[in-house]
């Protein structure tokens, strides 16, 4: 069969690579998997969430001009166990949600935080019944 088999990574181009790498590692808790320079000169850093296989590729390539992210163009969505606890984590870092949190009666919800360079990060909390059937993450 000639169909694709899985998603490998999503790329975001940036102006300031290290500032964004710090955000994704310190604020979101992503792990740096590898970094290298591409044959054309792009600086690349690959990151992943602890329980995911898919990677995020952060790319800095000044030769292609400055990056300007349009509002509401794209976002990455990550699962969190608790939006309330994640909000406390943000406040300890001097940050806050840019929208939300919005929590439904079943306990599911979402919120957004702005990453450097204007990319949005969506944080999603599963409904309470989800954890009753699969258990808490990391347990």
**Segment 92-120, tens digit of pLDDT:** 999 999 999 999 999 999 999 999 988 99
Q: Could you say which of 3.30.9.80, 3.40.50.720, 3.10.180.10, 3.40.50.170 is the CATH number of the domain covering 7-62? A: 3.10.180.10
Confidence at 2, pLDDT banded by 50, 70, 90: confident
Total-model pTM: 0.85
Cβ contacts of 14-20, under 8 Å, gap ≥ 24: 14/58, 14/59, 14/60, 14/67, 14/116, 14/117, 15/60, 15/62, 15/66, 15/67, 15/117, 16/60, 16/116, 16/117, 17/43, 17/45, 17/58, 17/59, 17/60, 19/116, 20/58, 20/115, 20/116, 20/117
**pLDDT at position 71, please?**
84
Q: Mean pLDDT throughout 122-127?
A: 95
Residue 96 to residue 69: CA distance in whole angstroms: 20
Residues of the chain with CATH 3.10.180.10: 7-62, 72-139
**Architecture label for domain 72-139:** Roll (3.10)
% of the chain residues with pLDDT over 70 = 92
């Amino acid at each position: 069969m000639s169909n694709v088999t899985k998603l490998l990574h999503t790329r975001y181009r940036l102006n300031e690579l290290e500032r964004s790498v710090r955000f994704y590692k310190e604020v979101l808790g992503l792990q740096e998997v590898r970094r290298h320079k591409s044959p054309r000169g792009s600086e690349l850093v690959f990151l992943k969430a602890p329980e995911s296989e898919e990677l995020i590729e952060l790319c800095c390539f000044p030769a292609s001009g400055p990056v300007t992210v349009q509002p509401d163009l794209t976002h990455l969505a990550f699962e969190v166990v608790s939006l309330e606890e994640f909000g406390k984590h943000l406040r300890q870092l001097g940050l806050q949600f840019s929208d939300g949190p919005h929590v439904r009666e079943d306990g599911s919800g979402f919120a957004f935080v702005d990453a450097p360079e204007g990319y949005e990060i969506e944080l999603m909390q599963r409904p309470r019944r989800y954890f009753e059937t699969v258990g808490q993450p990391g347990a």
